[in-house]
Amino acid sequence: MAAAPVAAQSIHKCVSASGETSYQSDPCPVGQQVAKSWDASQPHVSRSQQRRIDRDLGAARLAADQRRQQLHGASGVASHRPPSASSVNRQRCQVAKARRDRWLADSPKRTFVQRRSMDDMVYQACKP
């Protein structure tokens, strides 16, 4: 099944004679001045870009869920204690490892210097 083409969408900023400003997708009516118009259609995203976006979104949701779990615990009530230093360090380490893994997955052909640089970044984030 082929996807239907998406029509271009424009936004128009219209200013009336009394100075009122409105934003609309239709062209400005007679009697209103066009202050600005711009294209608001969605940019094309390749499959690899979409996979990366989905992966980053999943990682962000997981991190948010973990923070929420730390703050609220099993009871669902917010705790007034800040997260412990060890949990913050552990989370920083996990984020650094995930970032390195995404970087390697995007282009596995990396030089030794590039790989070493990423490994050093992970080491700095994970060291006690």
- Average confidence (pLDDT) over 22-46: 84
Q: Do 56 and 81 have their domain in common?
A: yes
Domain residues for the domain of 105 are 47-126
In whole angstroms, what is the distance from residue 118 CA to residue 96 CA? Answer: 9
The residue type of 44 is: H
Q: Do 21 and 74 have their domain in common?
A: no
The residue type of 29 is: P
Instruction: Describe the crossing of helices 85-106 and 47-72 by its angle, rounded to 10 degrees.
Output: 170
Confidence band of 15 (pLDDT split at 50, 70, 90): very high
For the chain, what is the domain count?
2
pTM check: above 0.85: no
Q: Do 68 and 99 have their domain in common?
A: yes
pLDDT in tens, 70-109: 776 655 555 566 667 677 788 888 888 888 888 888 877 7
Q: According to the per-residue pLDDT averaged within each range, which of 12-21, 43-52, 97-106 is highest?
A: 12-21
Residues in the chain: 128
Q: Do 64 and 114 have their domain in common?
A: yes
Q: Do 119 and 62 have their domain in common?
A: yes
The three-class DSSP label of residue 15 is: strand
